[in-house]
Structure 1
Amino acid sequence: MLLPPLDVATYPTFNMSRGAYASRPPRPSSIVSSTSSSSSTSSRTCTASPDFPRIQKLICAVFRSSRITVQQAERLQSRIHQVYLTRLADDSSLVLKCLPTANVRLLRHEKHTLGTEVKTLETLHEYTQLPVPRIIKYDSHGGHFGSPFLIMSHLPGRRLSELSPHLTTAERSAIDRTLGSYVRSLTSLSATQFGMTHRVFEHKGCKSWREAFLALLEAALRDAEDMLVTIPYDSVRYYVSKHSHALDEVTEPRLVALDVCSPDNVLIDEYTKRVTGLVGFSNVIWGDALMNGGIANGTKAFFEGFGECPMRTGGIKIRMFMYTIYRAILAVVAHHYRPHTGMDELEVRRELVCALNELARM
């Protein structure tokens, strides 16, 4: 399915009726409440941006009504953006996503994340039936709020990363099968150019996947160089360039959601153990469908849902090693920019070296 670049964003109208959005009870330790009198809570929220009064003012302005009351605003876990789950007086919920704070250093490919997420979600709602959030309001300038922001519907469910240790083998296989079918839906979407989403929709993308992928890889390497991260730069550039002809086998740009199957981005019903939603579409490009999240380490059940298991021979095998190298470099560099405990850098570096050695032997 060929998608023309979309230049005009349209925002659906939502009625703020009770039960319009499912939500889970917020955790007290991370809540900003209009009725809270805890000094410890106040000390935590006074440094957060936006604070509770600004959230209330923004929601009222978006829906053009002073009658809407925000009862609670819970800060959600996010490695880059400021994300808040806001609970309204009618018990409905919205998600507010804002730019990172000034002290968060971004990688080169992270400069247009909000715009990328908006374009991607609009496209998915128009051309697929995937369970993803709906855009309620996106303001790329920020207006009275002062900085760009995105408001989305809130999807029910808990993160797969939270429930994974408690799933049976059959339950996990069913989830993987569903994810495989969802990734297949993503790969059915195509565009007219290759590269980063914001450039493709501005008609400034690349004509070939080779050009686009090499630019992505070089940007990641330069981010690493900026932080003096130890990586085999010369070997990566040499062997990827040597085998770059395999990238020319990709002739049609397909939607590539790099983080689509990340356990933190898959929402699960904790009772039925079924997938209820997918989130995290800020890291999306147009290129080789085999670069989509989930494919590199897909299980048998995943590929049953996907419809096929790509034969890792010839050019496909070469490209898969290149994508492993790219993902590993991004992970290592991001960890140096924004350290977090959930990343095993040694294991990621091992994957990088193994993939690089495989390319060297070809």
Structure 2
Amino acid sequence: MHLPPLDVAIYPVTAMSRGTYISKPARRSSTTSSSSSSSSASSRTSITTIDFPSIQRVIRAVFRSSKITVQQVEVLQGYLHQVYLAKLVDSSCLVLKCPPAYNVRLLRHEKHLLETERKTLETLHEYTQIPVPQVLKYDSHGGALGTPFLLMSHVSGRKLSEISAFLTASERSTIDRTLGSYVRALTALSATQFGMTHRVFEKKGSTSWREAFLALLEAALRDAEDMLVTLPYESLRYWVGKHAHVLEEVTEARLVALNVCDAQNVLVDERTKQVVGLVGFSNVIWGDALLGGGMADGSEAFFAGLGEYPPRTGSARVRMLMYTTYRATVKIVTRHYRPHSGGDELRARRELSYALNELAAL
């Protein structure tokens, strides 16, 4: 199925009530202390510029009704965005997302997050049955808020990262199988160009996956150079360049959501232990399905839901090694741009070294 192409984030919890932002610690879970400190750091820098009346005005304008009343607004601990949960008097909820705080430094591939997310969610609603938030309003200028925003429906559920330690093996397998089926639905969508979502929708994408992927990797390397991050730049460029011809085997651009299977982006019903929603579509491109979330480390149940096991030999293995270098590079660089963002830099460096050594041995 050919489409024109498509970015989202996470929904954790902090609170503020009418007109006043009251920072409360997030509910503790099985996450590590580093992720906990990252969450608190996120809430500290999240929101200081948007007031309660402005949020209510925006919601009333969207629904064209002065009778809609926002009862409470909570600050959600987003990965990058400033995110709010607006609770209405009828008990329904809406999610408002704004760009990252002004003091958050972005990588090159993070420049068009809201626009990409909006297009991704609209596409998924139109062409799939995947449970994702519905876009209610996107304003690239901001209007009453004075900043771009994305207003969406709220998908209730607990993050998989919060409850994974309490799941049985059978419950986890069911969740993984569901995720595999959703990834299959994602990668069934195709476009006529490759690359970043906003460029593809503007018909400014690349005509080849080789060109698009090398541009993605080079952008990450330049981000690293800007921050003087220690990386094996020459080896990265040399070994990926040497094997880049295998990328030409990818002739159809598929929707690739790199973080779709991250435990923080999967919402689960606490009672039934079923997947009720997916968020975190801010890192979405059009390219090789093998780059997508779950492909590198999916479980048996995940691949059962996907319906196939990706090939691990020949040119497919070479491509997977190249994608490992890209993911590891982005993780390393992100830690230097945002030290409190979470993630294991040492593990990412080990993955990068392994992939480069394997590429060199081919």
| Alignment pair present for 1:32 and 2:29 | no
Which residue pairs with 2:326 in the alignment? 326
Higher relative contact order (Cα pairs below 8 Å, separated by 6+ residues): 2
Q: How far 1:133 sits from its partner (Å)?
A: 0.6
Q: Measured at CA, do residues 244 and 35 of structure 1 come closer, stay the same or move farther in structure 2, by a change above 3 Å?
A: closer
Deviation per residue, 1:5-35 (Å, 9 max, x gap): 59xxxxxxxxxxxxxxxxx9x96xx322128
Q: Measured at CA, do residues 125 and 40 of structure 1 come closer, stay the same or move farther in structure 2, by a change above 3 Å?
A: closer
Which residue pairs with 1:18 in the alignment? none
Which residue pairs with 1:285 in the alignment? 285
Q: Which AA in structure 2 matches 1:131? A: P
| Alignment pair present for 1:336 and 2:336 | yes
1:31 alignment partner, SS class: coil
Q: Which AA in structure 2 matches 1:218? A: E
2:191 alignment partner, SS class: coil
Kept in 2: contact 1:159–1:267 (CA 8 A): yes
Sequence identity percentage: 68
The gaps in structure 2 that reach 5 residues or longer are: 26-43
Q: Measured at CA, do residues 83 and 341 of structure 1 come closer, stay the same or move farther in structure 2, by a change above 3 Å?
A: closer
Q: Which AA in structure 1 matches 2:310? A: P
Residues of 2 paired with 1:192 and 1:232: CA distance? Answer: 34
| Alignment pair present for 1:117 and 2:117 | yes
Q: Which AA in structure 2 matches 1:31? A: A
Kept in 2: contact 1:83–1:95 (CA 8 A): yes
Deviation per residue, 1:213-240 (Å, 9 max, x gap): 0000000000000001111111000000
Residues of 2 paired with 1:124 and 1:201: CA distance? Answer: 14
Q: How far 1:322 sits from its partner (Å)?
A: 0.6
Residues of 1 paired with 2:16 and 2:176: CA distance? Answer: 36
Which residue pairs with 1:155 in the alignment? 155
Residues of 1 paired with 2:128 and 2:88: CA distance? Answer: 29
Aligned counterparts, 1:21-100, within 5 A = 30-34=14-18, 48-100=48-100
Q: How far 1:146 sits from its partner (Å)?
A: 1.2
Q: How far 1:312 sits from its partner (Å)?
A: 0.6
Q: Measured at CA, do residues 35 and 203 of structure 1 come closer, stay the same or move farther in structure 2, by a change above 3 Å?
A: closer
Residues of 1 paired with 2:84 and 2:286: CA distance? Answer: 29
Residues of 1 paired with 2:158 and 2:103: CA distance? Answer: 29
Which residue pairs with 2:234 in the alignment? 234
Q: What is the root-mean-square deviation of aligned Cα atoms in Å? A: 2.2
Which residue pairs with 1:15 in the alignment? none
Q: How far 1:145 sits from its partner (Å)?
A: 2.1
Q: How far 1:280 sits from its partner (Å)?
A: 1.1
The gaps in structure 1 that reach 5 residues or longer are: 7-23
Q: How far 1:37 sits from its partner (Å)?
A: 10
Which residue pairs with 1:20 in the alignment? none
Q: TM-score, normalised by structure 2?
A: 0.90
2:190 alignment partner, SS class: coil
Which residue pairs with 1:300 in the alignment? 300
Q: How far 1:40 sits from its partner (Å)?
A: 9.7
| Alignment pair present for 1:348 and 2:348 | yes
Residues of 2 paired with 1:361 and 1:38: CA distance? Answer: 55
Q: Which AA in structure 1 matches 2:188? A: S
Q: Which AA in structure 1 matches 2:173? A: S
Residues of 2 paired with 1:175 and 1:46: CA distance? Answer: 31
Kept in 2: contact 1:5–1:203 (CA 8 A): no
Kept in 1: contact 2:5–2:120 (CA 8 A): no
> Which portions of structure 1, spanning 4 or more consecutive aligned residues, are displaced by more than 3 angstroms?
35-41, 44-47
Q: How far 1:340 sits from its partner (Å)?
A: 2.2
Q: Which AA in structure 2 matches 1:33? A: S
Which residue pairs with 1:16 in the alignment? none
| Alignment pair present for 1:254 and 2:254 | yes
